[in-house]
Amino acid sequence: MKKICIFIGSRANYSSIKAVMRAIQKHPELELQVVAGASAVLDRYGSVINLIEQDGFSVVARVHMLIEGETPTTMAKSTGLGLIELPTIFESIKPDIVLTVGDRFETMATTLAAAYMNIPIAHTMGGEVSGTIDESIRHAITKFAHIHFPASRDAYERIVKLGEPEPSVHLVGCPRMDLVAEMLSVSRSEVDESIFRLGVGDRVDIDKPFVLVSQHPVTTEYGTGREQITATLQAVKNIGLPAIVLWPNADAGSDDIAKGIRIWREKGLDTDMHFFKNLPISTYVQLMKRTKCLVGNSSSGIREGAFIGTPVVNIGTRQAGRERGSNVIDTGNDADEIASAIQKQLSHGPYGFEPIYGDGTAGEKIADILSRTVVQLQKRITY
């Protein structure tokens, strides 16, 4: 039995890898080991660990590694703290492969710990281009990883250009699309009954037109988050549609965005807006399907948006260069520019399906490849 360890550090981590976790759990030749840490174990970010356990996964270890402050300094220190704690956990649970997700700072800690301990590394969503420090982390992890699971053709080709041998690179699509395909079949009543038990603010009738806002800090533009989210909220208010607004992730600058949201509410500008710390993945997918427009800088607009056909206004540089579909309009951080783009998307309506990031079958493909791959631990750059 091959033991596959997956570290979950955020709600985005979990939504990105849940389908793979289920496929590993069901595979007769694989054993799943889930380690939860960073924002995933904190109530402030919605206690994602509770969602993990509610979904039937056992968490073998927890890592408290997130230093509060959400600054570049605390982000670096949190990475270091994770690197201190994770080797002890890996030594205890003895995984055969560590599967790491994407490009976040906790992913770097996971990767470095496994690399120094001679544990083979598998990496999902490598090879992509984006803004912030995430791109540098993503490509660095590619050079540590032994097995690569890119989500798009463009990413596949970039990993090979980075000097990774082609037999180790498997174009499987994005595992998040597996969940999207499944969640779109969830009945409307399930979402209607649960959504407003969480969060604060005015109730939004999701059977009528509404806007969905998901905006995170841009680490390389630290200190501008408050102004950026204020411009976004002002643009949405100018449009005149109700809005559902999600809390930012734990990257450096998160406090700035959170402060901007709180000040917005304190000024009484939050009429027809409802704010959530965290949402079940199934609910978020349903909201993406129903919203007239997703506004912000979340990768979900690029990935899930292309799969679902959600109209998206992508703001700023956070997703700069990432492969995208016709459903996305890019804007700067100016409120008038954002509002104009939203108006264009409202007049367009839903887009068609574009399988840029897979067809919803990535989880089983990844589990099968992990079960039969023999890893050569010593890496060598290949051209």
Average pLDDT, integer, range 104-121: 95
Pinpoint the residues of the chain covered by CATH 3.40.50.2000. Answer: 2-174+358-372, 186-348
Average pLDDT, integer, range 46-68: 92
Angstrom distance (rounded) from CA 217 to CA 138: 17
Supply the pLDDT for residue 194.
66
Q: How confident is the model at residue 65 (pLDDT cuts 50, 70, 90)?
A: very high
Angstrom distance (rounded) from CA 94 to CA 87: 10
Q: Residue 251 above 90 pLDDT?
A: no
Angstrom distance (rounded) from CA 144 to CA 247: 32
The percent of residues in the chain predicted with pLDDT above 90, rounded, is 75
Average pLDDT, integer, range 135-152: 96
Strands 200-201 and 273-276: antiparallel
Supply the pLDDT for residue 291.
96
Angstrom distance (rounded) from CA 266 to CA 41: 28
Supply the pLDDT for residue 83.
96
Element (H, E) at 302: helix 299-308
Which long-range contacts (C-beta less than 8 Å, at least 24 apart) are formed by 52-61? 52/8, 52/14, 55/18, 56/25, 57/21, 57/25, 57/32, 58/34, 59/34, 59/35, 60/33, 60/34, 60/35, 60/89, 60/93, 61/35, 61/36, 61/89, 61/92, 61/93
Class of domain 2-174+358-372: alpha beta
Least confident of 20-29, 68-77, 91-100, 182-191: 182-191
Q: How confident is the model at residue 357 (pLDDT cuts 50, 70, 90)?
A: very high
Class of domain 186-348: alpha beta
Q: Residue 266 above 60 pLDDT?
A: yes
Q: pLDDT tens digit string along 173-220?
A: 999 999 898 887 765 546 665 677 778 889 899 989 999 999 999 988
Supply the pLDDT for residue 277.
82
DSSP reduced 3-state for 36? strand
Tokens of 217: 């800090």
